[in-house]
Every structure is written in C-alpha cells, then in structure tokens.
Amino acid sequence: MAHKQRLLTGLQPSGTLHIGNYFGALKPFVDLYTEYESYLMVVDYHALTTMRDPEALRAAIFNIVRDYIAVGVDPSRVVLFKQSDVPQHTELAWIFECLVTVPFLMQAHAYKDKVAKGLEANAGLFNYPMLMAADILLYDTDIVPVGEDQRQHIEYAREAASKFNNAFGEIFTPPTEKIFEGVGVVPGIDGKKMSKSYGNTIPLFGTREEITKAVMGIVTDSTGGRPETVYAIHALFRDAQELDVLYENNTNNYKALKEALIEDIEAVVAPMREVRNSISDDDVRTILANGAATAGERAAEKMQEVKARIGVTV
C-alpha cells in the first residue's frame, strides 16, 4: 500500500462555532482527514498572543476538542493534541527566528494589520509565523488545510524550511496549503458574511431555542417571492431540487420556510449536540494526553536531527 501523505492543521481555541465555521472549515476537514495521516493541533500558545484570561483559555481548549469530536472527528484516527504539550514547537520556532530577518517578518499580514490599526504588537505576534512554521515542519507535513487568510503563513513555513535546508542540509519538506473553496461564504442572518465579529451568526451547538431565534431573525429581502438569505442558508442543509419545490410551494410564506429551515438545521445539529454533551472533561484530557504522547515522540525524533545539524549536540 502506498504511504499516506501527512496532513496537519491548527485550531485556534477561541469563541463559539457557527454554521459558517462548520461548512467552511469543520465539515471539509471531516470529509478529508482519513485519507491522510492526520494531525490536529489546538494552538494554545498562538492564542496567548491575544488572550489574557486563563479560565477563558482553558474553557476554549475543552470546547474546541469537544466541537471537533461532535462533528465527526474520530480521535483514534487522528493525532489530536495541544501545542503547549509538545515543547519542541517553541524550541524549533526559536531556531527559525534565528534564520529569518526582521523585515521579512514585518511583511506578515497579522502583524501589519495590528500596526496599521495603531495597536502595539507583542513580540509573540511578530514571531507567530515562525511558531506556525515549526508546528508544520516538525512533522514533515505535506498538506495543510486552512482558510484563505492563512495562505501567507504557509508561504512563511516554506521559507523557513528553505532557509534551514540551505544553511544546514535538506531535512525539511516544503508543505502545501489546501484552501477550502467549495462552499464559498455562508451568509449570516443579516445577509453579510456570517462572522462572530458581526454578531450575525446561527450557533452550531446552540439550543433549539437559540437556533429558532436566529433563524426567525434572518432578513427576508427578496427580488421575487424567494427570501434569498434564507434560501442560501437552507441550501446547505437540503438538496437543491427538493428545496426549489418547497420554496415554490411557499412563495411569500416566510414563516413556513423558516420553520422548515429550523427543522432541517435541527436534523443535522441535534445528533452532534448529543455527542458533544456526552464528552466529559476527563475524556478530553485522555484524548489530549494520548495525542501528546504520539506527537511528542515524533517531534523529539525530528528535533534530535535538527540539533545535530545545527551543531548543538556534542
């Protein structure tokens, strides 16, 4: 059997997921990960560039692990771990920081955006791309599934690999990004892009009441009987032909259409919500401990090679 390619991605432990996140990021990951030897990492040290509330960070870590398992990630088929549990990530990041230049890091979008807004960037944010490069390169990753906004970071990882390889010999594989494009942008209840920063979301793991409230609030602007935003969201949950019949039979009956949408969302979300509620804190701890053991072993091996190459082993 051919050797499986290696896939790795990082998850920011922040906020509550919405259905835009589900169709734009979680579902595509679930559909993909078993074709690869997959690594899924909670990037808690990256989160520290912005978070200052330990209880909130801890809760967000538990949540993101539960979220991914609830949507169908099987922890026995992926190395699911937390970045801070594998110290080689920060160790390798330091080595890359010694190889790239300050002007190069100053071109990074996340840093530039912060400075452009007149905010003071911390040194962690400045070095963020090199920690991400270490995340990826430690595991000889071939494929990195990410959103479009992360494209530049993968270029930075390739640059770190090439800087190291040129200086010390070829030991790092240049990774390739895999940008999910299929679903496009899921609209929020106001018709703009659904985003937690716009407060226009339908929560993925909300209660039935919360989902109902959000759906009933969807704008019903239309150019001919069909409420386009309701329809666009509905199309994610139901086959197009069935949907067209439903919308033709209910022209201008927005309430009936929204009620149908609530049922269709519930049919997908209710089973996931149940799985999510069944996962205890201890289950999460066990999953992360197992993941850290596997990832740690591989990272330690790679780091030995790195250290020998740069000349710090005696």
Q: Do the beta carbons of residue 95 and residue 160 sit within 8 Å?
A: no
3-state per-residue secondary structure call for 152-215: HHHHHHHHHHHHHHHHHCCCCCCCEEEECCCCCCCECCCCCECCHHHCCCCECCCCHHHHHHHH
Q: Is 192 tagged catalytic?
A: no
Q: Which of 147, 191, 203, 296 is the binder for ligand ADP (CB under 6 A)?
A: 147
Q: Which of 109, 196, 213, 226 is the binder for ligand ADP (CB under 6 A)?
A: 196
Distance of CA 181 to the CA centre of its chain: 14
Piece of the chain touching ligand ADP by CB under 6 A; list 97-105, 108-116, 181-189, 221-229: 181-189
- Closest residue to ligand ADP, Cβ-based? 24
Q: Which of 186, 214, 260, 269 is the binder for ligand ADP (CB under 6 A)?
A: 186
Smallest distance, Å, CB 21 to ligand ADP? 4
Smallest distance, Å, CB 10 to ligand TRP? 3
Q: Which residues bind ligand TRP (CB under 6 A)?
A: 8-10, 12, 43, 46, 132, 135-136, 144, 146, 150, 153
Q: Do the beta carbons of residue 135 and residue 43 sit within 8 Å?
A: yes
Pick one of ligand ADP, ligand TRP, none as the site partner of residue 21 (Cβ within 5 to 8 A by kind). ligand ADP
226 scored as a contact of ligand ADP (CB under 6 A): no
Q: Is 196 tagged catalytic?
A: yes
Q: Is 307 tagged catalytic?
A: no
Strand partners, 37: 6
The CA angle 107-99-111, to the nearest 5 degrees, is 25
CA distance 206 to 185: 21
Q: Which two tokens stand for residue 94?
A: 């330091």
Which position among 196, 213, 302, 307 bears the catalytic label?
196
191 scored as a contact of ligand ADP (CB under 6 A): no
Instruction: Beginning with the edge strand found earlier in the chain, give each strand of the sheet holding 6-11 in spatial order.
Output: 79-82, 37-42, 6-11, 143-146, 176-179
> Which sequence positions are flagged as catalytic?
114, 193, 196
Q: What residues line the site for ligand ADP (CB under 6 A)?
A: 20-21, 23-25, 147, 183, 185-186, 193-197
